[in-house]
Structure 1
Amino acid sequence: MGDGTGATDMKKQSSTGMTRRGLLRAFAATAVTTAPVYANAAGFLRGNAGDVRHIAMYSGRTGERIDTIYWIDGEYIGEAVKEINVFMRDWRTSEAVQIDLRTIDIMAASLNLMDTSEPYMLLSGYRSPQTNAMLRSKSRGVARNSLHMRGQAADLRINGRSTTQIANAALSCRAGGVGRYPGSNFVHMDCGQVRSWRG
């Protein structure tokens, strides 16, 4: 729920934010895993393994699912990114914003590193200020200036992976903030400063 900005047990790993080089290393270290629906593009994917990025998620709140390639050959695919923005909207208010592409890249790289065909369950993407204030009134773990309100964070889980496995994958990207919440069974990822914490 939070983004670690106020956590006293936060372990700061670096004073720098996410770097493109760090993300490229993460993508280079992973094999592109594609769903059967992309079988027709197998030849293209084999020839451009570093230039295809894929994300798959579902929402228990709305029942919606998304499974898309959003980057091909060095270019973001506008329509796919728009779908991701809508999917990651504040489901309580239906407000959507531009999700920071760096956050989407961190999520996709982490998913690839876990070598799973399971999608993420998205618990929280963009949060309106009203939603953030409401959640903050109910939990000390919600930051006042949460990166969720900027479209720069996501709270995620994968049924077949533990919070430790998900967090370790995200941490290996060295590309932003990673918070592990084992009690609530989710991991927070954002494109802020490189840091980690346990909630």
Structure 2
Amino acid sequence: MTHDSSLSMTRRGLLAAFAATTVAAAPTFSNAAGFLRGGGDIRRIRMYSGRTGERLDTIYWVEGKYIKDAVKEINAFMRDWRTNDAISIDTRTIDIMAAAHNLMDVNEPYMLLSGYRSPATNAMLRSRSRGVAKNSLHMKGQAADLRVSSRSVGQIARAAASCRAGGVGRYSGSNFVHMDCGPVRTWGR
């Protein structure tokens, strides 16, 4: 399989995940602003941070277009809370997170444990744990570690893996799932 065909396959998987959740997600958006009602394809992300106490609930994509201000808000929310550094989060990661959330059919937001990590934070975490990659996709804004209290690690991981659009790691001992927009792969238990 060539690189291009694997990319289209992962895009297809992600689009299929969104298509499968359109009907289930539709009632969620019934109170959206007038221009969004009946606007077709809408993507939303909901998260909170136990570290900062912040909450995020935003529609970030409407009918094929990312909403610039919403994506900026997501970038700031997913910053490295230890250093307060932020970068642009890869929208593919946001899409995987949103699609997996829709597939789980839950109303509660994700708890974000880790989004962007500065190189200094990654090095510090790596010195404390064998499970932190030296060239972590967190440092590129391409990964997130997430939890949903009403769903098991297995349920969250299965939803993310069904998108066939990136890496999914199960960390049952720490009760979270890693999602990234890197190569399609799974690990952990």
> Please, what TM-score do these two structures have when normalized by structure 1?
0.86
* Cα distance in structure 2, aligned partners of 1:75 and 1:34: 21
Q: CA deviation at 1:33?
A: 5.0
Note the residue ranges of structure 1 that are not aligned, 5 or more in a row: 1-14
Partner SS for 1:29: helix
Q: Which residue of 1 aligns with 2:182?
A: 192
* Cα distance in structure 1, aligned partners of 2:38 and 2:170: 34
* Cα distance in structure 1, aligned partners of 2:27 and 2:138: 28
Q: CA deviation at 1:20?
A: 2.1
Q: Which residue of 1 aligns with 2:15?
A: 24
Output one character per residue of 1:21-79: Cα deviation in whole Å (capped at 9) or x when no partner.
Answer: 2211110011325657x51548954561xx10000000000000000000011110000
Q: CA deviation at 1:98?
A: 0.2
Q: 2:31 aligns with which of 39, 49, 53?
A: 39
Q: Which residue of 1 aligns with 2:63?
A: 73
Partner SS for 2:146: strand
RMSD, aligned CA: 1.9
Note the residue ranges of structure 2 that are not aligned, 5 or more in a row: none
**Alpha carbons 2:113, 2:145 under 8 Å: kept:** yes
Partner SS for 1:168: helix
* Cα distance in structure 2, aligned partners of 1:109 and 1:139: 29
Partner SS for 2:145: strand
Give the length in aligned residue pairs: 182
* Cα distance in structure 1, aligned partners of 2:26 and 2:152: 20
> Please, what TM-score do these two structures have when normalized by structure 2?
0.90
- Structure with more contact order per residue of length (Cα contacts < 8 Å, sep ≥ 6): 1
**Alpha carbons 1:34, 1:54 under 8 Å: kept:** no
